Structure 1
Amino acid sequence: MPTLIDSHCHIYYDDFQHDLAQVFERAEAAGVKGMIVVGADPVTSRQAVEIAAGHPALFCTVGIHPHDAAGVDEAAVMALEELARTSPKCVAIGEIGLDFYRNRSPREDQERVFRRFLQMAKRLDKPVVIHDRDAHAETLAMIKEAGVTRGVMHCFSGDLAFARQCLEQGLHLSIPGTITYPSNEQLREVVRNVPLERFLLETDCPYLSPVPHRGKRNEPAYTRITAEKVAELRGLTVEDVGRITTMNAGRLFGIPLWDESTKIAYRIRNSLYLNITNRCSNQCTFCAKFDEFTVKGHNLLLDHEPGFEEVMAAIGQPEDIHEVVFCGFGESLLRLDLVKQVAQALKQRGYPVRINSDGQANLAHGRNILPELAGLVDSISISLNAPDAATYGRLCNTPFGEAGWQGVCDFLREAPRYIPDVTATAVTIPGIDIEACRRVAEGLGVKFRVREYAEVG
């Protein structure tokens, strides 16, 4: 069962008054563990606060939608600022922004009110929930002018280029049920090409129901339909998408619904990964762990290196696992004895075993360790990452100097004698000649795979 958060819903409307208890039950059954109830004007902002106060997993925002900007005076703004300041479950300012599609309020009023709420968010140190329709450039310009760098573009409707501009500003993108609409290929392109660590999921209920409920009332349970579509587009499970987007919402809004415990064994797709050390031979300039220790929603920052019994306890008896991978945020082969011991136990259980490595284990141990892996390891992926020693040294900061890259090449050349499936990989770091890396791998007699830059796990 996934853990999902509907990061934008309007369940205070009359559409929900006759069956709100059942709405909550259906959401729970679908894996929706939390909701953010978003205010759109002074009345609904107060309703959002009241609803959130009565439910442990509900949180709220306050704001004024651009449709209602006309006639908003300073007293209304200050009253909502006081509400945001004094409501312990108010996690953001919004829904605010610009809507030049319907223009239900004059543009000057929309911009005036939007600017005031952006200033409020900065003053209260809260993220913003942004409504933007047919006003991409103007909306982002005002956000930049206000110096706001935390928030979410609700119901994202821009193209990939605009998505990247929003990310550069520090904003998240929220994906609604419209991703299921056959004509919305633009949003699907965004989802395919933006790191999942910058996405939230939402319904915007009662609006924008996903297929197959299009045209009917939307509700928080349908967050799962959106999650399933995102999972399909990204080649992940719905549990993966739920875990990642729940982490994202937890971090952005400060809500305690993300499992932050350190993982020794963790699942991505149908693979079980083992995180047994945070130590590495290299200090690669592009390594994500220098920014944070999470991978696809899993916290991998170890406070100690686990022993055999602890690793086996963490593995347990997993079902529907296609392989077990020694990976984590460190070089597993630095703990060679533990790898051999765990791999032997896994092989006895019938699990295929893979290792992801930097290929410098022979240099680190001062001997050829590959014969010790024979019969224990089915496949190994080695980070080549450069077509020559100079580039490798610059990118990977190997402690072995000029011998580092050559050591990786020698490891790759030798590995097929002991391990059936050997692959060299390279990350699409800007400026790297991927085809030259491919030629090196082919010359060493191994397969080659490209890994996307800034896409970990």
Structure 2
Amino acid sequence: MFFDTHAHLDLSPLSEAEEAVVRRARDAGVARIATVGIDPESGERAVSIAHRPTGVYAVVGLHPHDAGRLSDTLLARLEALSRCDKVVAIGETGLDFHRDRAPRDSQRAAFREQVRLARRRGLPVVVHDRDAHDEVLSILSEENAAEVGGIIHCFSGDIAMARRALGMNFLVSIPGAITYRGSEVQVEAVRELPLDRLLIETDCPFLAPVPHRGKPNEPSYVPLVAAKVAAIKGVTVEDVARTTTLNALRLFRIPVEEEVRVTYKIRDSLYLNITNRCTNACTFCPKRHDYRVKGHLLKLPGEPTAAETLAEVGDPTAFDEIVFCGFGEPLLRLDEVKEIAAELKRRGARVRVNTDGLGNLVHGRNILPELAGLVDALSVSLNAPDAQTYARICPNRYGEASFAALLDFLREAPKHVPTVGATAVALPGIDPEAVRRLAESIPGVSFRLRPYDDVG
């Protein structure tokens, strides 16, 4: 299900056919919509709309085009509106130095006051930014907007701007313009940013995506935005829908019931989350702050049995591969891995294990012969070019001895498993080419560099 995080359902022509617009959105899989006000009157209409169909929420604010209207009375009206339980953010506010429909000083003042309102109310900020990237970010920083976070709506900046925004607790929202020619800078930003920091929107009735460009936009077109993001990121539309919806729910503080996943699908692979235990306490591990991967909650209340895991898998041939991964080291449960893998192979599956490569050290024996015939591929987290670096970024109770054991595991693995790859996270301060050279010096081992901040 999709979440259109920025629509203007109160504007013509959508306002003349509100029920039909929402119905078409539902039919297209768009379960939630944030309708955004541009002044107090528009905000009142947004709140009214949000109280009619389920799954519609309101955002209230003063658009930079109307910043000249700023007054204490107007701010009081916005604050009163913000107390409605269907209001999830303040905005859209910000700066528009492209059209300059209001004096720039008025825009700055209105922007600052609305960030302060958002902080008083504990609500995120929806930011309009056009030809004002640096100043928008400066004001957000000066006004401590990171306290509440928010959205850079209709993102038109580059990857450097996006990373600065992410550092201030803001998400980047991608509109239909990503489907247009000339959007290469934004395409590159989408490619480089983690999916769990992205949102999708229509900004309807404006900016209809291809093939509807030039016509009125509406929420039912947001799946076209998701499809473009999926193509850029090399994931499925389902992955984009699930992840961006969860991103929006969390940002807007909308309660959501999440099911802990033992099996979870990303792209065309099914992953098995059979333990949250790890040998290492890696400094860069994302579970230090969140147990979610591409919209899946992986914090287990207990470890599933082999039978429970297999029951969730169903027909494994429906997937390109079955991957033991999750948020833990699967080979800590070696017996269960062997039992599950044996049954999966019997059912015709291709099996991969993602591991830290310390299984021999942990179990006190060479476990690789036990995986022969059960595992088609191993992906081994190498991460460092030497023992000292590894001990620093992947600390464990074995100390520097663990790195030698990891290398021995990699050297032995190709004798028993057809495909063996070493990986490294592109961690700042680590020389990835040194890790690559080390990995590729081992016969039968390939190498892949993984993004630092994008899991799954």
Match among 409, 412, 422 for residue 410 of structure 2: 412
Match among 3, 6, 18 for residue 4 of structure 2: 6
Number of equivalent positions: 453
Residue of structure 2 equivalent to 1:146: 143
Structure 1 residue runs of 5 or longer lacking an equivalent are none
Residue of structure 1 equivalent to 2:215: 216
Q: Would you say 1:119 and 2:116 are equivalent positions?
A: yes
TM-score normalised by structure 1 residue count: 0.97
* Preserved CA contact (<8 Å) 2:268 2:320: yes
**Which whole-Å CA distance do the structure 2 matches of 1:171 and 1:328 have between them?**
27
Q: CA deviation at 1:103?
A: 1.2
Q: CA deviation at 1:62?
A: 0.7
Match among 104, 123, 141 for residue 101 of structure 2: 104
State how 1:7-156 maps to structure 2 within 5 Å: 7-85=5-83, 87-149=84-146, 150-156=149-155
Residue of structure 2 equivalent to 1:162: 161
Deviations for 1:367-397, whole angstroms, at most 9, x for unmatched residues?
A: 1111111111000011111111111111110
* Change beyond 3 A, Cα 1:29–1:99: same
Residue of structure 1 equivalent to 2:244: 245
Q: CA deviation at 1:17?
A: 3.6
CA RMSD of aligned residues (A): 1.2
**Which whole-Å CA distance do the structure 2 matches of 1:72 and 1:417 have between them?**
72
Taking every aligned residue pair, what percent have the same amino acid on both sides? 53
* Preserved CA contact (<8 Å) 2:317 2:348: no
**Which whole-Å CA distance do the structure 2 matches of 1:424 and 1:434 have between them?**
12
Q: CA deviation at 1:442?
A: 2.2
Match of 1:450, SS state, is strand
**Which whole-Å CA distance do the structure 1 matches of 2:316 and 2:224 have between them?**
26
* Preserved CA contact (<8 Å) 2:9 2:204: yes
Residue of structure 2 equivalent to 1:174: 173
Match of 1:126, SS state, is coil
TM-score normalised by structure 2 residue count: 0.97
**Which whole-Å CA distance do the structure 2 matches of 1:218 and 1:105 have between them?**
26
Q: CA deviation at 1:398?
A: 2.6
Q: CA deviation at 1:259?
A: 5.6
Residue of structure 2 equivalent to 1:448: 447
Match of 1:113, SS state, is helix
Q: CA deviation at 1:273?
A: 0.2
Deviations for 1:282-333, whole angstroms, at most 9, x for unmatched residues?
A: 1111111111111111110001000022111221235641000000000000
Give the letter aligned to residue 221 of structure 2. Y
Deviations for 1:67-116, whole angstroms, at most 9, x for unmatched residues?
A: 1111332111101101112x101000001111111111111221222221
Moved more, 422-431 or 213-222: 422-431
**Which whole-Å CA distance do the structure 1 matches of 2:60 and 2:405 have between them?**
58
Moved more, 159-168 or 341-350: 159-168
Residue of structure 2 equivalent to 1:362: 360
State how 1:417-436 maps to structure 2 within 5 Å: 417-436=415-434
Moved more, 401-410 or 354-363: 401-410
Give the letter aligned to residue 119 of structure 2. K
Match of 1:19, SS state, is helix
Deviations for 1:193-235, whole angstroms, at most 9, x for unmatched residues?
A: 1111111110000000011100000000111000000000000
Give the letter aligned to residue 245 of structure 1. T
**Which whole-Å CA distance do the structure 2 matches of 1:318 and 1:148 have between them?**
46
**Which whole-Å CA distance do the structure 1 matches of 2:138 and 2:441 have between them?**
50
Match of 2:422, SS state, is strand
Runs (4+) of structure 1 exceeding 2 A deviation are: 17-22, 316-320
* Change beyond 3 A, Cα 1:318–1:68: farther
**Which whole-Å CA distance do the structure 2 matches of 1:113 and 1:432 have between them?**
44
Q: CA deviation at 1:22?
A: 2.3
Q: CA deviation at 1:280?
A: 0.7
